[in-house]
Copies of this chain bind each other. A is one copy, B any other.
Amino acid sequence: MELQERLRARGYRLTPQRALVLEAVTTLGHATPEDALGWIRERASGVNISTVYRALELLEGLGLVRHTHLGHGAPTYHASTTPEHVHLVCRQCGGISEVEPDAVQPMVEALERSSGFVADVGHLAVFGLCKECAR
């Protein structure tokens, strides 16, 4: 299994908890540490929130998950296997929608050209007003 290989290549071990955390994030699509724990607790017991934090940090270090800050509070994680996407966060209604990275490609290119900055689009959260609230 890929996860195990990745872990062992760096001297880490494959534990049920780590597998569950990755599965939770993958299944949920977007998950805060608390969300992931909630999902896990529906199928396993005794998993601790601190383990979730530690697993997320590890998995992120391995490049298997990423996180974004979708506003105040807890970061939101998603699996690296899910297609990259940009988050649109409505400041009015709090709604979150996703768009293809294509939508921001012109920006990425402009930034790289002008500043040499290589933007990580999978990390991008754009705040503003959604269609409904903009009126």
Is A131 a contact partner of B115 (Cβ separation < 8 A)? yes
Is A117 a contact partner of B128 (Cβ separation < 8 A)? yes
Is B134 a contact partner of A129 (Cβ separation < 8 A)? no
Residue among B99, B111, B114, B128 making CB contact with A126, cutoff 8 Å: B111
Is A124 a contact partner of B123 (Cβ separation < 8 A)? no
A28 proximal to B (CB < 8 A) = no
- Give how many copies assemble into the complex: 2
Q: Interface on A for B, CB 8 Å cutoff?
A: 69, 71-72, 75, 88, 90-91, 97, 99, 103-104, 106-107, 110-111, 114-120, 123-131, 134
* 23 residue pairs A–B, Cβ–Cβ below 8 Å: A69-B69, A72-B75, A88-B111, A88-B115, A88-B119, A91-B123, A103-B111, A104-B110, A115-B130, A116-B130, A116-B131, A116-B134, A117-B129, A117-B131, A117-B134, A118-B128, A118-B129, A118-B134, A119-B128, A120-B128, A123-B126, A123-B127, A125-B125
